[in-house]
Amino acid sequence: MTEITPLDHDALAKLDADFKVCDHNHMAMNAVTAAGIDKVARNYDRARLLQRRFSTVVDNGTATHQDRSGRCWLFSSLNVARFVAKKNMGLKEFEFSQNYAMYYDKLERVNYFLKDMAALIEAGEPADSRLVQHLLHDVMGDGGQWTMAMNVYKKYGAVPKDLFPETESSKNTGEMNTQLRRMLHTAVAHMYADPASIGSVIASATAAGHRILTIHLGEPPKSFDWEWTDQDGEFHRDGEITPVEFWNKYVGSADLESYVCLVDDPRQEHAKGRKIGIEHLGNVAGGDPTEYLNVPNRFMKDCVRRILEEQGIPVWFGADCHPMMDRENGAWATDLFEYGKVYDVDFDLDKEARVRYADSAMNHAMAFVGVDVADDGHTTRRWRVENSWGDKIADKGYFTMSDDWFTEYVYEVAVPKALLPDAYLRALEEPAQMLPAWDPMGALAR
């Protein structure tokens, strides 16, 4: 058995000597200490040759900004929805209230978490078990999934942004989340201390969660008067309408709630064409479970291409956004940075190994709004992406993704059931293979 031995003086001296005898190391150190690794490792030829033109583009207007929050999954799903709403209302620019969606997502998560923990406590799950500790550490983050967003919109609808605008806490969620987390940790401690009081603890904590959210985010409207002037200058008035009625009237035609989440889980033990789910992952109790159909990455690309070309609507997706990203110029390509050449390190993990060894997981959600397709009509070459990081970076907030980057780092897309072959439709009717709460396929977009 290998022992954990000290890094002794002789070993350290050899490391120092080996570093000094290589001129490349000195040049790399001089460059990186002065300019930073990304500027030094940036592949100049790849960056300049990555085209920003596409055979199909869906114009979705001004890029949105999630600020210092992890609400990308809400922003991106509402960016898909706003495209539909703009078309139905004849508007060039429109934005839904992401604050409204977050308010009810977090309120529902308070209830979901408390009821989930109560069931575990009543079943005898120890407080120091891996599961309970994972749930305690993960509670009240901002991240989420497409299905979780649809659960919120189906139950609570949506409102225009100017009727429930951003607050200091919606734009910078850290302190609010800390207080919610402390409150829920306290509630769990009280439930463990006195299991007979679980019902009263849940009621008290739910009320506290509602107070905290309303203090930080404001009181969301139950109904509102809606009127607007379309892009042709024509005035319209709906009168009083509820958020659910508003959603159903202006977004319901797209039937986004019935979309299926396709995922590319590259691990060999998880068969393609089978449905998978994550234990204890959800937000709205009684809503649709967070499940995915595991499919080849190529099938995901074909679905996205068809939606963009045939339906002309943005497509929600989740990816590991950090590797090989030029944030300022708005680009992703697998060879955009040559870190290995700077460090003389061989970063040789494939997609399966990166997932298995915690090097990669889905962490950000965006929307595809364009694709460039080769003359054969099927081969995809690059993708246009609507991000939610504002319009001061990239191409006014829109990014370009190479097709090989899609292969390596895109994990999930939401698509209509109508695009699925019969074998996949049958798979949706089968029970999901449930994975533990800490499985990398349960990673949330933030």
Query: Which residues are catalytically annotated?
Result: 72, 364, 387
Check: CB of residue 243 under 8 Å from CB of residue 100: yes
Check: CB of residue 100 under 8 Å from CB of residue 92: no
Question: What residues form DSSP beta bridges with 235?
Answer: 229
HEC assignment per residue over the chain: CCCCCCCCHHHHHHHHHHHHCCHHHHHHHHHHHHHCHHHHHECHHHHHHCCCCCCEECCCCCCCECCECCCHHHHHHHHHHHHHHHHHHCCCCCCECHHHHHHHHHHHHHHHHHHHHHHHHHCCCCCCCHHHHHHHHHCCCCCECHHHHHHHHHHHCCCEHHHCCCCHHHHECHHHHHHHHHHHHHHHHHHHHCHHHHHHHHHHHHHHHHHHHHHHHCCCCCCEEEEEECCCCCEEEEEEECHHHHHHHHCHHHCHHHCEEEECCCCCCCCCCEEEEECCCCCCCCCCCCEEEECCHHHHHHHHHHHHHHHCCCEEEEECCCCCEECCCCEECCCCECHHHHHCCCCCCCHHHHHHCCCCCCCEEEEEEEEEECCCCCCEEEEEEECCECCCCCECCEEEEEHHHHHHHEEEEEECHHHCCHHHHHHHCCCCEEECCCCHHHCCEC
